[in-house]
Structure 1
Amino acid sequence: MLYQIRHITRFEYARPVAFARNNLRLQPIDWSGQKVEDYALAIEPHGRTAPARAEAGLANVMRLVVDKPARSLIITSSARVRVDRPVPMPRPSDPTIAEVGAAARLSRDASPASPAAYLFPSPLIPLDRDIAAWSAADLDSGRGVLEAAIGLALRIQREFAFDTDATLVDTTPSEAFAKRGGVCQDFAQIMLSALRAAGLPAAYVSGYIRTLPPPGRPRLVGADATHAWVLVWAGPDLGWVGVDPTNGIWMAGDHIVVAIGRDYADVAPIDGIVLGSGAQNMQVSVDVEPLGD
């Protein structure tokens, strides 16, 4: 499937901002099952951009500098991405959680996609005893890794309520877990905390999910906004496999990967500093249009 993606971020400032420097992680990456065919970035009313290095994880980073006073800033990211990714199929021959964990600990891969880089707690996703205990039965060490991953995702979808008022962007996994509610970021972080507690490499994914579902299929939660889900490393043969706990599904043809990291801090679409006084208002709109095969 070929997708046209349009992601618009609007900032309105109560007083003119004298200077801003931001990191933009808006351009989707090339990843297994997807290829970026075209990309464009537009800044209004003004701003200078230059490529920058991702400090952690996998992302296309652009540095934006605004050095003239501005009362507003509009960042428009447009991408055309081809996705051809089959739905994973758990099999009795899949490696177990214990086997995958052992393989990850022995890995000598030093690349940003190394499983060893995603084994341990990260600044925004510490290990949590309550989450580990709650997920222990789903993540028994002798269970096949793919069967366990989709089972845990379905349990999160079943037991947690999607509630945009329950959490904020800085809500911790333990807080969202206690509330049994939140949004896609919270569900991804809870699942990541559980997988890492079980010794599995697991990464946070920022991306998009198609806005318009195929005829006869329900609209997926997370459309019209950036979406978050999980990658679990399933061993050297299966590699990284995506799981979406918000919707209780695998990452397949409906998902477009933008960036991969240890947690949200590695993959935030926009972060940085602004020099100015007064309040700011941010609005984000996302449209993911399927163009056909």
Structure 2
Amino acid sequence: MKYQIRLDVNYDYAAAVSDARHILRVRPREDAGQSVETVKTTVEPRPDEIAPEHDFFDNRVDAVAFFSPHTALAVRMQATVTIDRPAPPLSETPSLAALTEAAAASRAVDAASPIHHLGASRRIADMPAIATYASAILGSRSRASGEAVLALNRQIHEDFAYAPGTTDVATTIEDAFAARRGVCQDFAQVMIAGLRACGVPARYVSGFLRTDPPEGQPRLEGADAMHAWVEAWLGERCGWVGFDPTNAVVAGNDHIVVALGRDYDDAQPIAGAFITAGGQRTRHRADVMPID
């Protein structure tokens, strides 16, 4: 499936920003099952410095800096991406016992290694209540790990209400878990915390969802903005597999990956620091349209 993607992110500042540095993670990745045909990022006002690079997790990054006063910032990304992501053989994945043993024994240190996604990170710390919740759903240690992770994915969708506006980027997983409501970012980080607590490597994914669903299929939640879901490591043969707890589905040809990391902080679309006074207003829109 080929898509034309457009992302617009706009910031309006109450007072002029005199100096700013930002990291942009808005360009889709070249990854398994995903190829980028064209991609263009534009930033207004024009940055005084711009440096395209890749971070540790091999995300495509634009580092930009501004040294002149400005009262607004606009970031636009346009890309053409082809997705061919076959359904993973979840029933053929290793048992939970075998998977967690293999993950714990891993000594690889490259960006795709499961070892980076087993322990606590800045936003995802150990939480006994989430560990107990996830363990009960994953079930027997002899169960196929892929089927167990899918069960947790579906149960979070069942137990948590999708309620935009009830949380923000500062909401902790403890608060989201207690409230049983939030948005894709909250559900993804709760699921990651539960999987890691049970010894299953899990990482955060930022990306896009198809805006216009195929005829007869429901529209996925979170399609109007950048989306977030989870990838779990299911052994050497299956590798990393995406699970979307917001929509209770395995990530497939409707999901376009932009950035990966231990949690939101590693994959957030726009990060950085700037000097100003007063607040800011943000507008964010994404369109993902099939073109074949």
Same-fold call, TM > 0.5? yes
The alignment partner of 2:176 has SS state of: helix
TM-score (norm 2): 0.96
Q: Comparing 94-103 with 224-233, which one deviates more in the overlay?
A: 94-103
2:115 match:
116
Matched, 1:58 2:58: yes
Contact map agreement 2:204 2:230 (CA 8 A) in 1: yes
The alignment partner of 1:142 has SS state of: coil
Contact map agreement 2:208 2:225 (CA 8 A) in 1: yes
2:270 match:
270
Aligned 1:149-188 pairs, distance under 5 A? 149-188=149-188
The alignment partner of 1:237 has SS state of: helix
Query: Structure 2: any 5+ residue segments left out of the alignment?
Result: none
Contact map agreement 1:166 1:179 (CA 8 A) in 2: no
**Length, aligned pairs only:** 290
Question: Deviation at 1:203?
Answer: 0.4
| Aligned counterparts of 1:65 and 1:94: Cα–Cα separation in 2 | 45
Question: Deviation at 1:275?
Answer: 1.1
Question: Deviation at 1:216?
Answer: 0.4
Identity %: 43
| Aligned counterparts of 2:8 and 2:168: Cα–Cα separation in 1 | 21
Matched, 1:216 2:216: yes
Contact map agreement 1:26 1:77 (CA 8 A) in 2: yes
User: Cα RMSD (Å) of the superposition?
Assistant: 1.1
The alignment partner of 2:136 has SS state of: coil
1:231 match:
231
Task: Deviation per CA, 1:66-118: give whole Å up to 9, x if none.
Answer: 11111111111111111001122322x42011111111122222111101111
2:25 match:
25
Matched, 1:49 2:50: yes
| Aligned counterparts of 1:257 and 1:241: Cα–Cα separation in 2 | 12
Matched residue type, 2:52 = P
| Aligned counterparts of 2:156 and 2:65: Cα–Cα separation in 1 | 40
Task: Deviation per CA, 1:135-172: give whole Å up to 9, x if none.
Answer: 21222322111101111111011111001132121111
Contact map agreement 2:209 2:254 (CA 8 A) in 1: yes
Query: Structure 1: any 5+ residue segments left out of the alignment?
Result: none
Contact map agreement 1:192 1:203 (CA 8 A) in 2: yes
Matched residue type, 1:168 = D
| Aligned counterparts of 2:14 and 2:163: Cα–Cα separation in 1 | 30
Matched residue type, 2:95 = T
Question: Deviation at 1:182?
Answer: 0.6
Task: Deviation per CA, 1:183-235: give whole Å up to 9, x if none.
Answer: 00010011001100110110000001100000000000010101000000000
Question: Deviation at 1:280?
Answer: 1.4
TM-score (norm 1): 0.96
1:70 match:
70
Matched residue type, 1:119 = L
| Aligned counterparts of 2:58 and 2:149: Cα–Cα separation in 1 | 22
| Aligned counterparts of 1:53 and 1:83: Cα–Cα separation in 2 | 21
The alignment partner of 1:272 has SS state of: strand
Matched residue type, 1:137 = A
Matched residue type, 1:124 = R
Contact map agreement 2:88 2:238 (CA 8 A) in 1: no
